[in-house]
Amino acid sequence: MGALSTAETGRKSLSAGERSYLHAAAETMPREKLAQLQFERLQATLANAYANVPLVHQRLDKVGARPADIRSLDDLARLPFTIKTDLRDQYPFGLFARPHEQLARLHASSGTTGKPTVVGYTHEDIDNWADLMARSLYSAGVRRGDVVHNAYGYGLFTGGLGAHYGAERLGAVVVPVSGGATERQVGLIMDFKARVLCATPSYALAIAEVAEQQGVDLRKSALQIGMFGAEPWSAAMRHEIEARIGLKAVDVYGLSEIMGPGVACECECQDGLHGWEDHFLFEVIDPETGKVLPEGEAGELVITTLTKQALPMLRYRTRDITRLTTAPCDCGRTHVRILRITGRNDDMLIIRGVNVYPSQIEAVLIGRPNIAPHYQLVVERHGILDHVRVEVEALPGTEPALFPAVARDVRHHIKSMVGITTDVTVQVPGTVPRSQGKAVRVRDLRPKEA
């Protein structure tokens, strides 16, 4: 699973006495006991969804998998998948299993194409979410009394409020800055002595850049832990951020359809993200055939919620590509680990037959001489073939006369490491738009299918 060496991370391996958990009984539960708990909770979830969500009722009837027919976790594969368009088709509240009187909150995706995806929570759902995000923060090393600078966007996006409630639940001190006004963020991080930075990896990098421009050395700040997620990021990006800010960058995963941030998170071992199995069931399927893949094989992550009341999700196809392992983790947690998410199915580019995720190109760009870690991929159609142009920035101070040679070097390395031919344009610093949340990595200029 590509564990980081202790030399790279600066950590020593854990002794038994150093292992610590927020919810020890739940996090270290023997796997057989965990499976039993999951099955009980799955039955309750099925009963809830079957009784209260007409679409689920119809679908389970149709395939002959009513709640009573599901007798063990092995029967999970008999349940139909839920997909993103189900939420859109049932806009806004069609998949909700609770009336408004029992709801506490709604969140929604921005919905750049078509209708947004709306998700809802009861008070108990919000409570569980706070617990799981607190658990995630704790497993990453965050503790009571830590100042948590929360630069995830507040609002309909689940990042801001999700991290906020989790940090408060843990007993940390939250600074609810949200994204934007980056100069001010740098000042607040320094003045309030934040130990923890919550942000998308691309926004963390934007903060680092602005700090450098202001002459502020974040490596000398109190920051020690970054809780980064909400978008794919490469291992190279992790090292870049760690070097520029001087903290340990921790990967946290989640999605609004399932809950929000805190569905899975790295522990101090940083060898995959523990998916919190007392609240979710994780499967990996072949995205083409829908067949469940054996542990360790790469495919699409599918998640079933086990405790969600307002929006129970059965076998939700996340479109995120990863692998699972239940091999013991040095931290002593027994919960499954998902490997770093390489990318989303929807973001995959097929360039002359080669499947490519933006994060693979990112991994090549970061660390190449004279290149800054700011890039966009422009996809165009040339005749019948798709073509990628990589727009990347030169490091500040690089002579413009060198740009063509730098572009040739990058092009060569993308070809040899990713296997695709690209055009590379090296641009002056500051030309690639900086993100304040999820970075836009791909500009797709291909004609839309009629």
Residues 237, 244: contact at Cβ < 8 Å?
no
CB of residue 347 to ligand DLL, shortest distance in Å:
8
Q: Which is nearer to ligand DLL, 244 or 441 (CB)?
A: 441
Is residue 152 within the footprint of ligand DLL (CB under 6 A)?
Answer: yes
What's the CA gap between 252 and 228, in Å, rounded?
6
Buried b (16+ CB within 10 A) or exposed e, 375-405: bbbbeeeeeeebbbebbbbbeeebeeeebee
CB of residue 272 to ligand DLL, shortest distance in Å:
12
Is residue 344 within the footprint of ligand DLL (CB under 6 A)?
Answer: yes
φ/ψ (deg, to 5) at 76: -55, -40
Q: Which of 138, 203, 253, 316 binds ligand DLL (CB under 6 A)?
A: 253
**Piece of the chain touching ligand DLL by CB under 6 A; list 49-57, 137-145, 156-164, 241-249:** 156-164
Q: Which is nearer to ligand DLL, 19 or 239 (CB)?
A: 239
Q: Which is nearer to ligand DLL, 65 or 249 (CB)?
A: 249
With CB under 6 A as the rule, give the number of residues binding ligand DLL.
21
CB of residue 34 to ligand DLL, shortest distance in Å:
23
CB of residue 215 to ligand DLL, shortest distance in Å:
30
What's the CA gap between 19 and 24, in Å, rounded?
10
What's the CA gap between 243 and 240, in Å, rounded?
5
In the numeric block, the tokens 């063990």 are attached to: 72
Is residue 255 within the footprint of ligand DLL (CB under 6 A)?
Answer: yes
Q: Build a one-symbol-per-residue string for 87-106: x at contacts with ligand DLL by CB under 6 A, - elsewhere.
A: --------------------
Is residue 300 within the footprint of ligand DLL (CB under 6 A)?
Answer: no
Is residue 254 within the footprint of ligand DLL (CB under 6 A)?
Answer: yes
Angle value at C-alpha 157, between 151 and 161, nearest 5 degrees: 60
CB of residue 332 to ligand DLL, shortest distance in Å:
23
**Piece of the chain touching ligand DLL by CB under 6 A; list 67-75, 151-159, 185-193, 202-210:** 151-159
Alpha-carbon torsion, ordered 82, 85, 89, 94, to 10 deg: 40
Residues 197, 225: contact at Cβ < 8 Å?
yes
Q: Which is nearer to ligand DLL, 264 or 407 (CB)?
A: 264
What's the CA gap between 189 and 181, in Å, rounded?
13
CB of residue 227 to ligand DLL, shortest distance in Å:
7
Q: Which residues are bridge partners to 225 per DSSP?
A: 196, 248
Q: Which is nearer to ligand DLL, 117 or 398 (CB)?
A: 117
Q: Going by C-beta distance under 8 Å and a sequence separation of 6 or more, which residues neighbour residue 10?
A: 248
CB of residue 231 to ligand DLL, shortest distance in Å:
5
Reading phi first (left if > 0) and then psi (alpha if -120 to 50, else beta), residue 2 is in left
What's the CA gap between 334 and 282, in Å, rounded?
14
Binding to ligand DLL (CB under 6 A): which residues in 360-419? Answer: none
Q: Which is nearer to ligand DLL, 190 or 268 (CB)?
A: 268
Q: How far is CA 384 from CA 14, 276, 357, 446, in A?
A: 54, 45, 21, 11
Is residue 251 within the footprint of ligand DLL (CB under 6 A)?
Answer: yes
Binding to ligand DLL (CB under 6 A): which residues in 31-90? Answer: none
Binding to ligand DLL (CB under 6 A): which residues in 185-244? Answer: 229-232
Is residue 153 within the footprint of ligand DLL (CB under 6 A)?
Answer: no
Q: How many helices (H) and strands (E) does the chain have?
A: 12, 21
Is residue 159 within the footprint of ligand DLL (CB under 6 A)?
Answer: yes
Q: Which of 120, 141, 166, 260 binds ligand DLL (CB under 6 A)?
A: 260
Is residue 261 within the footprint of ligand DLL (CB under 6 A)?
Answer: yes
Q: Which of 256, 307, 309, 427 binds ligand DLL (CB under 6 A)?
A: 256
Largest Cα–Cα distance of the chain, in whole Å?
A: 71
CB of residue 205 to ligand DLL, shortest distance in Å:
15
Is residue 252 within the footprint of ligand DLL (CB under 6 A)?
Answer: yes
User: Edge-to-edge strand order for the sheet containing 225-229?
Assistant: 173-175, 147-150, 196-199, 225-229, 248-255, 260-266, 273-275, 337-338, 324-325
Q: Which of 130, 338, 341, 392 binds ligand DLL (CB under 6 A)?
A: 341
Q: What is the distance, to the nearest Å, from the Cα of residue 96 to the centroid of all Cα atoms in its chain?
A: 24
Q: Which is nearer to ligand DLL, 46 or 437 (CB)?
A: 437
What the block records as the tokens of 40 is 């009980």
Pairing of strands 173-175, 196-199: unpaired
Report the interface residues with ligand DLL, using CB under 6 A.
Answer: 109, 152, 157-159, 229-232, 251-256, 260-261, 318, 320, 341, 344
